[in-house]
């Protein structure tokens, strides 16, 4: 094969690889909840427009904070089992938006050192009577 053709093929392969949709996989982790005041946030300060109207938002633990790059990211979260005497609400998956950093919260989360800390609305959608739950989460 002539060299120029080989180069063209290589370029094509490279392009195809780069065009593959990013496969975002699901991870296991833990979630807690937090209550108001929800502002100021580490991502957007006191901006009242930062919260989705669904009230499904969350604060990122250090493992997913990503130096602030996680601000605005959306995650699908479901409950796989509850810690303590609580329980998961079956078949509930929520989509939450990161607006804050757990270390920066003005209210104490229901449990320390979780992967993510959910707004009350978000947490109550996937679990009952639990202070923390095991989750599967996936970036959207």
Nearest distance, CB of residue 46 and ligand NAG, angstroms = 33
Residue 121 main-chain phi, psi, to 5 deg: -60, -45
Question: What is the DSSP track for 69-126?
Answer: TTTT-EEEEEEEEESTT-EEPTT-EEEEEEEEEGGG-SS--SSSS-SEEEEHHHHHHH
Binding site residues, ligand NAG, CB under 6 A: 26, 78, 80, 90-91, 136, 138
Q: Which is nearer to ligand NAG, 53 or 91 (CB)?
A: 91
Q: Which is nearer to ligand NAG, 50 or 97 (CB)?
A: 97
Nearest distance, CB of residue 136 and ligand NAG, angstroms = 4
Q: Which is nearer to ligand NAG, 3 or 90 (CB)?
A: 90
């Amino acid at each position: 094969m002539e060299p120029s053709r080989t180069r063209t093929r290589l370029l094509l392969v490279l392009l195809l690889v780069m065009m593959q949709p990013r496969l975002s996989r699901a991870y296991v982790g833990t979630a807690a909840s937090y209550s108001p005041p929800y502002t100021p946030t580490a991502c957007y300060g006191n901006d009242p427009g930062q919260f989705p109207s669904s009230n499904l938002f969350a604060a990122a633990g250090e493992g997913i904070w990503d130096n602030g790059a996680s601000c605005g990211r959306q995650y699908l979260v479901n409950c796989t089992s509850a810690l303590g005497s609580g329980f998961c609400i079956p078949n509930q998956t929520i989509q939450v938006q990161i607006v804050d950093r757990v270390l920066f919260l003005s209210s104490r989360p229901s449990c320390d050192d979780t992967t993510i800390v959910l707004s009350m609305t978000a947490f109550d959608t996937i679990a009952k009577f639990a202070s923390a739950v095991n989750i599967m989460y996936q970036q959207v």
